[in-house]
Amino acid sequence: MVAIIWYIPRISHPLWALGFGSLTGGICGNLADRLFRAPGVMQGEVIDWIRLPNWPLFNVADSFIVASVALMIFLSWREVPIRTVVVEDE
């Protein structure tokens, strides 16, 4: 998480920023469950509350993590650069 936060300001492509932002949001959501749920700090569990037929339980944070990783895989496959180089005319 610290590495992602450190790297985010260097990203200039909007789709990469969306991917890293969604990943950060998902991580923070699951971390908040771990930190603040009963029985105490760092003793809580992530609550998976979305149940679909013939599918594992999940939550919104899990969905953001999976969707952001899928987006990043797609962007890598398409060789979309994380940083766009702007060349100014002299």
Q: Give tens-digit pLDDT for 27-69.
A: 999 999 888 888 877 777 888 888 889 988 889 999 999 999 9
- Measured N-to-C along each axis, helices 14-36 and 60-77 cross at an angle, to the nearest 10 degrees, of 150
Question: What is the band of 70 on the pLDDT scale with cuts at 50, 70, 90?
Answer: very high
Residue 3 lies in a domain: no
Residue 27 lies in a domain: yes
Residue 28 lies in a domain: yes
pLDDT at 44: 78
pLDDT at 86: 63
| Domain carrying residue 37 | 14-61+71-82
Residue 2 lies in a domain: no
Residue 6 lies in a domain: no
Does the pLDDT of residue 90 top 80, yes or no? no
Residue 90 lies in a domain: no
Residue 56 lies in a domain: yes
pLDDT at 43: 78
pTM of the model: 0.80
pLDDT at 29: 92
Paired strand residues for 50: 58
pLDDT at 89: 60
Active site residues: 48, 62
Q: What is the distance of C-alpha 5 from the center of its chain?
A: 11
What is the C-alpha separation between 34 and 50, in angstroms, rounded? 18
Q: What is the mean pLDDT of residues 73-85?
A: 88
Number of domains making up the chain: 1
One-letter amino acid for residue 4 of the chain: I
